[in-house]
Amino acid sequence: MIFRERALNTAVDRLERALEERDDALLNEAFGQLRDAFEEAKPKSSAEVGPRLANLLPRTPLGAAAILAVMIGACVENGADPQACSWPVLAGVRDALRDVAGFPALWAEAVGEDLPERDHLALGEVLERVAASAGGLKEGRFAAVSAWMQLPLWEMAAVAMLSREEIRRAVQADGTLVALAEEVALGDADLKCLRYLLKMFHDEPLVVLHRPTGTGYRMRVTRIGDNFQLHTLIGHLLIGGGHIAGEPPSAEAVAASRDAAVDPDRAPKTTGAFNLAGVDGAWLWNEGCPADIPVVDGERVLVLDPPTYERTWNAGRFYPHITGELTLEAVLDRAETEAYLAKAAPRRMWPDGD
């Protein structure tokens, strides 16, 4: 064990020396040694070197910085101080998001093909193609290509940091990273892990209207990662709580959606009891997140319609290490519910209308 701890610290020492001396050959050796040492190190040892690695990140070349950021994320997951580790990593994520915005236009002008698949192992190949087609690599081009190819690594590192609530709240309050992630995402699935975490609610009020029974409820959303989780917990509160008829989610499905450890190969199944919609009638997909629920007159309002078709999924949490909760605070009286429902568009049987 002592040997393993020394190996990790020695690897960090070598990385620090390589950066100070700007020795590319030594830098490659140091990274190889660091990866090997991480595989052998105990969690406590990696936690201890986390702040040291975070201090080195701003001096690390673009081609290697994302890899180091992932290692720092692993340190935080193993118990390193998130306050000491997070901010250099999140600064790198911010820069990568800014740089990546210019890549699609650069690639279209220089190469003129479909965008390359993001894969940090192919960074050198893509750099060569851009350099050959664009007549060299200026600093901005190198940054754009590096950001594009390594964005999944930056996202992975960011999620490790943002999984800590105190870090997430501070980043959300600043708003810069939240806006950048939304601006550069190409499609709903792109940067999904990062974007949903950046938009995660903490103690968010929610009005829920069950259209078939004309009943309404005030709820509060806390640390719910996606609408699969939200859907399951609404079913538990309303059906399991005896407010509306139906088949409630199992106790196992509810626990998995709140705080229970879940084996992905044995996740409990659950079936949706509703179709989620906004007041405007637009469907809200289970694959989305609670932040998709529109705000109407200053309140976030969700409409529950009968499901158009049966849908079953594995109950659990989009972020397994983050516990979530949905609480029922009040049942609305009939007059208040009718006032909300009067603002709601008619039910849509399908996403694009009737």
Domain range summary for the chain, segments of one domain joined by +: 42-198, 204-341
Of 21, 15, 28, nearest to 54 by C-alpha is 15
Task: Compute the distance between CA of residue 305 and CA of residue 302 in angstroms, rounded to an integer.
Answer: 10
The pLDDT of residue 2: 44
Mean per-residue pLDDT pooled into runs of 10, the chain (354 residues): 69 95 92 90 90 97 94 95 97 97 94 94 94 83 95 98 98 97 94 98 98 98 98 98 98 98 93 97 97 96 97 97 98 97 94 72
- C-beta contacts of 173-182 below 8 A and 24+ residues apart: 176/94, 177/90, 177/93, 177/94, 177/97, 180/94, 180/97, 180/98, 181/97
DSSP string, 48-74: HHHHHHHHHGGGS-HHHHHHHHHHHHH
**pTM of this structure:** 0.94
- What pLDDT score does 135 carry? 80
* SS3 call for 4: helix
Strands (E), the chain: 204-210, 215-222, 269-271, 275-277, 295-296, 299-305, 312-314, 325-331
Distance of CA 105 to the CA centre of its chain: 26
- Tally of residues, the chain: 354
Count of H-run helices and E-run strands, the chain: 14, 8
Q: How many CA atoms lie within 13 A of 337 on its CB side?
A: 18
What's the pLDDT at 353?
Answer: 64
